[in-house]
Amino acid sequence: MSSIRKDKSSDAFRILMYSTKEYDKLSFDTKLQDLKEPDRFEINYSHTRLTKDTVRMAKSYQAICIFINDECNHEILKKLNEYGVKLVVLRSCDFNNVDWKTAEEMDIKIGLVPGYSPNAVAEHAAMLVMALNRKIHRAYTRVKQGDFRIDGLVGFDMKDKTVGVLGKLEREMTVERMGIIGQFAISIFRGFGCKVLAYDDQTTKSEEQEELDFEYKELEEIYAKADIISIHLPLNDRTKHIINKSSIDKMKKGVLLVNTAKGGLIDTQALIDGLKQEKIGGVGLDVYENERKYYFKDYSSRIIEDDLFAQLLTYHNVIITAHQAFLTQETLCNIAKVTLENIHSFTINGKAVYAPKHDETSK
């Protein structure tokens, strides 16, 4: 564990950051110096993930800072409350890993980072689509091995293809309808000359619809017409496994499916069955429903025990990245800035600037 402070004064507000990577430390160290009184805060960094076995590390801290694969359930929050931790700040816009009801009961405040760099995620989704379409991963491997054949690398023109964007992002705090990530994705695909059909539970005209030139459609119609489906949904009770056997059966044969949102949106077994039956022509995943054990760790010399995940890795028409869609310099800068704003606000007003809305957490 490392600290950004040399002089650990007793009156400093102490924060323990779990699941820290070097890029986190660099961005937070830099942004902390932008505060008017940086010495008021002491951030200690730990590479350790927050679990029931590591929560004890939070003793003597007023706040903890966590990421998407840290566990913050009822048991852990009870321990945090015993230790006197009254603020949990997330370096993400997702809070599915936090038992917000327990936090509310114990008056532990939650802060998050809404819309930190939505274009980064949308760009990554488009990149996955293009890599799948033009078989970039296979072409790269061949050339590295001295094989310059192009057999089996035929793709298709993006122009005039139909793209389904599933982008109902209720958690986005700056829009009321189609979420920011979804809007960037639409803009990118429209730039390729694609026709875009978007899913939202409202289908009336809106300003973003006029500006970006797309149509709101029901899921069934998107499944039936889309050549490409890009998922940008939140994970909640309504959307869990929204991509399942039934929905895959309704899709066009050869559809390209990309998910840069949450792993739990896709039923992995149904996805594999769709690949086997060649109903799905290609899959790009930046997230996986059981990723917590593997992502952000080095398993290159270890056995992947998750049979479904291991099977996905064998398909030539599947590209998997390890939850890196957000990972740009601009995103890291925004995450650090907003997280520190949440911490500073708590020390002044007793609450974070950006907190989950009650209607969002109740879903």
From residue 170, alpha-carbon distances to 99, 241, 358 in Å are: 18, 17, 12
- Given this model, what pLDDT does residue 205 score? 53
The segment with the largest mean pLDDT, out of 2-6, 198-202, 231-235, is: 231-235
Question: Residue 256: what residue type?
Answer: L
Tens digit of pLDDT for each residue in 342-354?
999 999 999 999 9
Tens digit of pLDDT for each residue in 257-291?
999 999 999 999 999 999 999 999 999 999 999 99
- Cβ(39)–Cβ(8) below 8 Å: no
- Given this model, what pLDDT does residue 178 score? 55
Q: Which CATH number fits domain 118-320: 1.10.1040.10, 3.50.30.10, 3.30.450.20, 3.40.50.720?
A: 3.40.50.720
pLDDT-derived band at 93, boundaries 50, 70, 90: confident
Please give the average per-residue pLDDT across 32-46, as a whole number.
89
Whether 169 has a pLDDT exceeding 70, the answer reads no
Class of domain 13-116+328-349: alpha beta
Domain range summary for the chain, segments of one domain joined by +: 13-116+328-349, 118-320
In CATH terms, are 13-116+328-349 and 118-320 the same topology?
yes
Tens digit of pLDDT for each residue in 96-121?
899 989 999 999 999 999 877 889 99
Tens digit of pLDDT for each residue in 212-230?
889 999 999 999 999 999 9
Tens digit of pLDDT for each residue in 238-249?
899 999 999 999
- Given this model, what pLDDT does residue 210 score? 74
Mean pLDDT of the chain: 90
Alpha helices in the chain (DSSP H): 22-32, 74-83, 100-105, 118-133, 136-144, 180-191, 207-212, 219-225, 245-249, 268-276, 307-312, 329-349, 358-361
The b-or-e profile of 250-281 (16+ CB within 10 A means b, else e) is: ebbeebbbbbbbbbbbbbbebbbebbeeebbb
Q: Angle 118-133/136-144 helices, nearest 10 degrees?
A: 70
Tens digit of pLDDT for each residue in 295-318?
999 999 999 999 999 999 999 999
- Given this model, what pLDDT does residue 207 score? 65
Question: Judging by DSSP bridges, how do beta strands 2-3 and 13-17 pair with one another?
Answer: unpaired
pLDDT-derived band at 175, boundaries 50, 70, 90: very low
Closest to 66 measured CA to CA, from 331, 353, 343: 343
Spatial distance between the Cα atoms of 193 and 54, rounded to a whole number of angstroms = 50
Closest to 251 measured CA to CA, from 232, 229, 276: 229
- Cβ(182)–Cβ(212) below 8 Å: no
- Given this model, what pLDDT does residue 10 score? 59
The least confident of 2-16, 53-67, 167-181 is 167-181
Please give the average per-residue pLDDT across 186-210, as a whole number.
82
Question: Residue 66: what residue type?
Answer: I
Spatial distance between the Cα atoms of 286 and 185, rounded to a whole number of angstroms = 15
- Which pTM value belongs to this model? 0.89
| 3-class DSSP assignment, residue 326 | coil
- Given this model, what pLDDT does residue 95 score? 84
Q: Higher model confidence: residue 357 or residue 326? A: 326
pLDDT-derived band at 11, boundaries 50, 70, 90: confident
